[in-house]
Structure 1
Amino acid sequence: MLGNYFEKGDKSLSVYEAYGRNPIIFNRVIENYKKGLKLQPKNILYHYRLGYAYHLMRRLMEASSEYEKVLKLDPPCLASETDLKLASKYAPRLFANPKEFFKLKDLVAVIHPKQPIIAYNLFWEDDIDYPGDNDPSDHEIVWIEFDQKSGEVTGIYTYFHMAILSTEEAVSDANLHHQRARINVQWGEHGSLPLRWEELHPEVIFEKISKRIKIKNMAQRYQELSKSIKSPFHPLAKDWPKKFTGSYKDFINFSKNIELRRLLKKKKMVITSKWPNAVINRYFLNYNYFPKRQWPKYPMEET
């Protein structure tokens, strides 16, 4: 029965994320997770998933409460000098469009305690399409996987509008540049792109419900954004660009370098934990952000 509650909650959460934020579906997520946790109150994974679900709905007090339970049961390790050096070593080379309006305001590097992978959580000032979503930021992620013996990068994964992108060329290029991956950032919406992204067909996979959803590619996003952003007349967007001006070639110009190492050195937001959203929420940021999935390759149950 216990497994059934958690499994039902997982499936409902996938439906909620895949088909739109239906409050009826969301209530099923919460109901099943709570029933499961009543029977197994020290289940860290499902306290985390319950917190994540609340976070998706911006029910922040409840999300924070669950995150605190997670971190009490599985405390993180604050960064040592070795951790700071590790995060700096693999910090990606970030390149934005020269017309990018928003600044990158925060960077949190979360080192996995058991697997050789680091999640670089990027927080931009906002998303060009969502001025009124009550999230004063735009959360994106780049994951860098590495070999602990050789130090070589073995995997690069980027978050692009719910899809996870990865290419072998990005890995090869990183190792040619002292283990620092080149990541390009889409104008306005900040989807992160690995090298040779042009050859990919982005889609998001919801394994729990056997569903694949195609994601708009860069050409399609250019067609939309070159006409208008989604809410050009929103009061909070009064000083924002109303559209991308320029050709598609201009849109995919990623020549503005943003030095992540400088931001890491300045703010030192580095920590070791399996639970990135929990540590970001409880240790680092005093503003809300829309949470993203955690690890691209390792299921949470296996880490």
Structure 2
Amino acid sequence: MIEIYVDEFKRTSQILMEKMLSGEITAGSAYYRAVVPMLELLREVCPDHIEFAAWEAEYYHLDGNLRRAGELYRRVLELAPLEQPDDVTISRIRKFCPQLLTTPQECFPLKDVAAVHHPTLPLIGYHLFWEDDYDFPDDYEPCDHEEIWVEYDPQEEVVTSVLTFFHSSVIESQAAVLEAHANGGRPIIRIEWGKHGSLLKGWENLTIPLKEVSALEWLMETYKHVKTGGRVPDHPLKRYWPKGFEGTFEDFIDFSVPVDPLSYLERKPLMFKSQWVSAVLFTHGLLYNFHPKMEWPERFQRLSLRQSFANR
């Protein structure tokens, strides 16, 4: 019988994947509730596979069950204890900390910054928490979580790659690396008004992976969207926010106001070393809820690579 069950499960899973890719099933509460029991079973059968506990925690987190998410995040860190960054690691976190450029009209301040160094790779994740996202006053997440990753050569102490999580895609550019070299090792990130997409040097010529649109096209569409009030323009929690972006598209891409995350890290040194970023941020970093995102770029890059091979 087990062979029959396995075959039926394979076919069911294939249909589920097809429906998700077509948009008939979205990554929402019903999907999370369907996946969690499978992860719970796998976690029991494979207790040494930390990723099953981490993914289950993430789904509970996304579905708003914060107490259960917290229990599982703590379990993750019991299996893979949080490491204290040593002086060399802290020095590198500071040295390669990005600098930000917002627009003059940016309506949400930066609340917090956390930096997480990968436990085995020369890779640092910088996590920015803005006061909110202009499109999502109703998500019960009192912040907008954005991510920047900086990879470096530990021998030469120079930046080798700069990546950001831009609206569910990972983008990178060699121009950003060269700019970091010219800026003492600190990348410079341009911040999209109200929504805080993190743009790199040369963004005008970048194509967003999987979406297959240029960053310039994306920003032009976003500009039109937020100029008229964005998503849920009449939501009561938006009543003290700007009614929309006021100004031209040139104003929308006027990245000229510096914000320094390093000053946030100096004031509140949220610096960690772990592979399990969401667990760390949830249990050791923030006192408020946030949206769990891609912990490390490899999670997206694996998908992007498979897509590239599939399209050949």
Tell me whether the two structures share a fold, i.e. TM-score over 0.5: yes
Identify if the C-alpha distance between structure 1 residues 80 and 11 changes in structure 2 by more than 3 Å, giving closer, same or farther: farther
Identify if the C-alpha distance between structure 1 residues 16 and 279 changes in structure 2 by more than 3 Å, giving closer, same or farther: farther
Unaligned runs of 5+ in 1: 205-211
Match of 1:113 among 116, 119, 142: 119
State the 1:16 CA deviation. Answer: 6.0
Match of 1:130 among 108, 127, 136: 136
What do residues 169-212 of structure 1 show as CA deviations (whole Å, max 9, x unaligned)? 111111111111110000000000011111112144xxxxxxx6
State the 1:12 CA deviation. Answer: 6.5
Identify if the C-alpha distance between structure 1 residues 14 and 147 changes in structure 2 by more than 3 Å, giving closer, same or farther: farther
Does the residue aligned with 2:251 lie in a helix, a strand or coil?
helix
State the 1:295 CA deviation. Answer: 0.8
Identify if the C-alpha distance between structure 1 residues 106 and 92 changes in structure 2 by more than 3 Å, giving closer, same or farther: same
1:119 is aligned with what amino acid? G
State the 1:9 CA deviation. Answer: 8.6
The TM-score normalised by the length of structure 1 is 0.88
Does the residue aligned with 2:163 lie in a helix, a strand or coil?
strand
Alignment of 1:216-231 (within 5 A): 217-231=218-232
Q: Return the alpha-carbon distance in structure 2 between the equivalents of residues 13 and 219 of structure 1.
A: 32
Does the residue aligned with 1:154 lie in a helix, a strand or coil?
strand
Higher-Rg structure is: 2
Who is 1:253 aligned against?
Answer: 254
State the 1:84 CA deviation. Answer: 2.4
Q: Is the 2:169–2:300 Cα contact (8 Å) retained in structure 1?
A: no
Identify if the C-alpha distance between structure 1 residues 108 and 217 changes in structure 2 by more than 3 Å, giving closer, same or farther: same
Q: Return the alpha-carbon distance in structure 1 between the equivalents of residues 72 and 17 of structure 2.
A: 16
Bigger CA drift: 59-68 or 101-110?
59-68
Q: Return the alpha-carbon distance in structure 2 between the equivalents of residues 134 and 246 of structure 1.
A: 29
Alignment of 1:1-303 (within 5 A): 19=23, 20-204=26-210, 217-297=218-298
Does the residue aligned with 2:298 lie in a helix, a strand or coil?
coil
State the 1:35 CA deviation. Answer: 1.6
State the 1:37 CA deviation. Answer: 1.4
Does the residue aligned with 2:161 lie in a helix, a strand or coil?
strand
State the 1:42 CA deviation. Answer: 2.9
1:286 is aligned with what amino acid? L
Does the residue aligned with 1:37 lie in a helix, a strand or coil?
helix
Identify if the C-alpha distance between structure 1 residues 147 and 126 changes in structure 2 by more than 3 Å, giving closer, same or farther: same
Bigger CA drift: 120-129 or 212-221?
212-221
Does the residue aligned with 1:217 lie in a helix, a strand or coil?
helix
Q: Return the alpha-carbon distance in structure 1 between the equivalents of residues 301 and 279 of structure 2.
A: 14
Q: Return the alpha-carbon distance in structure 2 between the equivalents of residues 300 and 160 of structure 1.
A: 13
Q: Return the alpha-carbon distance in structure 2 between the equivalents of residues 288 and 13 of structure 1.
A: 29
Identify if the C-alpha distance between structure 1 residues 173 and 180 changes in structure 2 by more than 3 Å, giving closer, same or farther: same
Q: Is the 1:201–1:217 Cα contact (8 Å) retained in structure 2?
A: no
Identify if the C-alpha distance between structure 1 residues 17 and 158 changes in structure 2 by more than 3 Å, giving closer, same or farther: farther
**Identity fraction in percent:** 32
Q: Return the alpha-carbon distance in structure 1 between the equivalents of residues 112 and 22 of structure 2.
A: 28
The TM-score normalised by the length of structure 2 is 0.86
What do residues 240-290 of structure 1 show as CA deviations (whole Å, max 9, x unaligned)? 001101110000000010011111100000000001111000001010011
Identify if the C-alpha distance between structure 1 residues 110 and 14 changes in structure 2 by more than 3 Å, giving closer, same or farther: farther
Q: Return the alpha-carbon distance in structure 2 between the equivalents of residues 217 and 166 of structure 1.
A: 16
Bigger CA drift: 173-182 or 109-118?
173-182
Unaligned runs of 5+ in 2: 303-312
The alignment yields a C-alpha RMSD, in angstroms, of 2.7
State the 1:18 CA deviation. Answer: 8.5
Does the residue aligned with 1:87 lie in a helix, a strand or coil?
helix
Bigger CA drift: 181-190 or 83-92?
83-92
Does the residue aligned with 2:207 lie in a helix, a strand or coil?
coil
State the 1:11 CA deviation. Answer: 10
Does the residue aligned with 1:294 lie in a helix, a strand or coil?
coil
Q: Return the alpha-carbon distance in structure 2 between the equivalents of residues 17 and 47 of structure 1.
A: 25
Q: Return the alpha-carbon distance in structure 1 between the equivalents of residues 301 and 200 of structure 2.
A: 24
